[in-house]
Each structure stands twice: as C-alpha cells, then as structure tokens.
Homo-oligomer: A and B are copies of this chain.
Amino acid sequence: MLALLTPFSRSTKSFRKDLLNVRLLLLFALIFTLIPIPFIKSQDPNQQPRPSASPTAAPTPLPPPTVKIDNYRAAAARIIGAALTSNRAYERLSFLTDHIGNRLSGSQSLDRAIEWAVAEMKKDGLDNVRAEKVMVPHWVRGQESLEMTAPVPRKLMMLGLGNSIATPVEGITADAVVVRTFEELDALGEKVRGKIVVYNAPFTNYGATVRYRSAGASRAARYGAVAALVRSITPVSLGTPHTGAMIYDETQPKIPAAAITIEGAELLQRMQNRGDRITLRLKMEAKFLPDAESANVVAELKGTERPDEVVVIGGHFDSWDVGQGANDDGGGCIISWEAARLLKELGLRPRRTIRVVLFTNEENGTRGGTANRETLTRPSCQNTCW
C-alpha cells in the first residue's frame, strides 16, 4: 500500500540515488497526481470486468480516454521544466541522510527528522501541515557479534534482525547446520536440536527469498534450534550483511536471529560440505524498550473543485539503524513531498486535494500506515484514494 505512488520498489532494494532517476520518477509521480483518477466511489458497482483477450484474438481496442490529456500539456510542461531545473529534492534528501541520518522507530533521529519535515513543509506553504501522533515499537540493537570457534577461529560479519530477541550475555555457542531451503531443514527435523541453523538460500527474488529472514527463526525453533542465521536477502555483496525484519511465530520458542553475508554463508556451506564440524558463538543484546511516541507527517495541497476528495502520496520516513535511509525510503518521502511543493511553487492547484504522508514505522511494525488507514475509515474520509 505504502509503495503505491512511490517509485522506489521495496522488492528490489537496489540503490537508485542517481539524481536524474529521482527527477524522472518525480515527474511520473507529479503527472499521476495531476490526472484525475476515477475514484472507487465513482465506479459503477454493476460494471462487469472485461473478459481478457485470448492470445490469438485481435487486441480489444482501448476505450476512449475519459480525460482530455491535451488540457494538461501546458501544466505538465511547467512541472517537467521546474522539476528538471530544481535541486531542491536532492538537497533535502542529502540533508536528511547526511545531517539526520538513519531513523529507526523510537530513535531521536526519527524525532528530529519529523520536526524538520514539519518545519520545512510549513516554510513551503503547504496546507494543514501536521504531525499525527502514532505510538511505535522501540527495538534497539545493542552490541552484537558472531565468531566461529571451530574449525578455525574467525570473526564473521553479521547484523541482528529487527525484532529479534537477545542471546544470553555469554552468547550462544553451538554447532552450525547449513541448509539451503526449508525443505532441507524439514528433512533434518530433530537433528537440528541444540544447533544454530544457517539458511544459505541464494537470492532469487525478494518475495521468495525474504521468507527465510521473516520466518526462518521460528521454523528452526520448531525443531529445537537455538538460533538462526540467514544469508542476506540480496544478490550483491562485498562482505555486507543486510538487516531487516523478522517475525516470531508465537506458537514456537523465540530464538535469536541475525543476518550474515553471502560470503559468510558460502564459507559455512563449503566447510559443511567438506565435513568440518562448525561451531559458532552468537552474541546479541537486542531488545524492545517501551513503545515510543512518533508521528506520521502530513501536508496537503487543497483541491479547488473537490477538496474533500483526497489523493494520498507518500513514503515511509523511518529506516533501519545501520544505513542512512536514503533509498529506503527517504527518496520516496522526498519526491512525494517535492511533488506537492513544486505544484505550490508553480501556483498549480489540483481539482482534488493532494495529501503527502511521511509514514512512521514501516520497517518494524507498520504502525504509521495502520494508524493512517484507520483515520480513513471515518465516514468523512470515504473519498480518499491512496
């Protein structure tokens, strides 16, 4: 949902900070917001879905356009010109990432980012700028480490997974069992009792591979494993572990979970294939503090003809704690915000209200998105499209 109008795909997590890309994507976002979208309420409930054309049939002609595109050419040209000659979005993104940095839910830096965005949006002259309070989980990483003690002593790069519990203070020292798939784990079953399960699943696509990060710990705990390590969910690595959220199955014992690098996972795989007995020591201090106050940042550009019909655009303002949250999802936030700012600067008022939302807590709770959705279930919000 949150990614509907943010062009940075959450599924690839690739790095696309290139300025030109940001600008081009911004343009698409702008143009989409300008063209009146047929809202759900205007759809005919009796309308039947069109049967899809069979592969051999002639293509069904498109229905005539319901919008006179030509009416928007002049406005689109002004927006494109302004977007391609302004550095504002890039400057704001670089200030956000350089001076405020990463923004995990509950962190002071997320609070600072929210204050900064509200103040800047007011300077931009946007309407109804506000921070809508949301209580968020407050997970903190603490110190963490992973080392191999056998067959050779060696430190391994790791990052604890978001939502993971800690290990005991002295760490968990246990033999490792490497599997490439859940099926391999299931085949081993009780043989992993007391072991650290290492998921060495090569990246295919985000959705397919992220299951090992999300659900791997509880799946291993089902068979008595004492910790889970997951090969980072990425096709590219320079010894770089990726953090991300994991979710406990409440019916299983909770065990600590961390990401290791592709190189680390392949090292363990080679050692296992070679017949080595592998012993690892995992130490993690991760824990939840009491829920913290945070907020969705909201700003609007009031519509001229139908101000109570609202198009919501946005990104999520929180990030993990180990990068800068530039691509995930500072960029999505800034271009959504910039779309409204540019329209305001150009004196272009849309027919419907455009609402920019910088959601809090997407990474480890989606409390911001949930809270925002709940505001839209009120009868007065039935005309909102997001």
A98 touches B270 (CB 8 A): yes
Q: A101 contacts which chain B residues (CB < 8 A)?
A: 152, 154
Q: A274 contacts which chain B residues (CB < 8 A)?
A: 95
Asked, given contacts A101-B152, A101-B154, A152-B101, whether A94 binds B270 with beta carbons under 8 Å apart, the answer is yes
Interface centre among A98, A151, A236, A267 (most CB of B within 10 A): A98
A271 proximal to B (CB < 8 A): yes
Chain B, residue nearest A90 (CB): B270
For this chain, the copies found in one complex come to: 2
A238 proximal to B (CB < 8 A): yes
A196–chain B nearest beta-carbon distance, Å: 18
A99 touches B240 (CB 8 A): no
Interface size class of A (residues with CB under 8 A): 10 to 19
Q: A271 contacts which chain B residues (CB < 8 A)?
A: 98
A9 proximal to B (CB < 8 A): no
A98 touches B267 (CB 8 A): yes
Q: A235 contacts which chain B residues (CB < 8 A)?
A: none
The docked-state distance in angstroms from the alpha carbon of A236 to that of B238 is 9
Q: A189 contacts which chain B residues (CB < 8 A)?
A: none
A260–chain B nearest beta-carbon distance, Å: 15
A307 proximal to B (CB < 8 A): no
A15–chain B nearest beta-carbon distance, Å: 9
A96–chain B nearest beta-carbon distance, Å: 12
A290 proximal to B (CB < 8 A): no
Chain B, residue nearest A240 (CB): B238
A128 proximal to B (CB < 8 A): no
The docked-state distance in angstroms from the alpha carbon of A12 to that of B256 is 40
Q: A252 contacts which chain B residues (CB < 8 A)?
A: none
Q: Which chain A residues in 230-256 approach chain B with CB under 8 Å?
A: 236-240
Q: A240 contacts which chain B residues (CB < 8 A)?
A: 238-240
The docked-state distance in angstroms from the alpha carbon of A271 to that of B95 is 9
Binary contact readout A255-275 vs B (1 if CB under 8 angstroms, 0 otherwise):
000000000000100110010
The docked-state distance in angstroms from the alpha carbon of A230 to that of B151 is 36
The docked-state distance in angstroms from the alpha carbon of A178 to that of B98 is 16
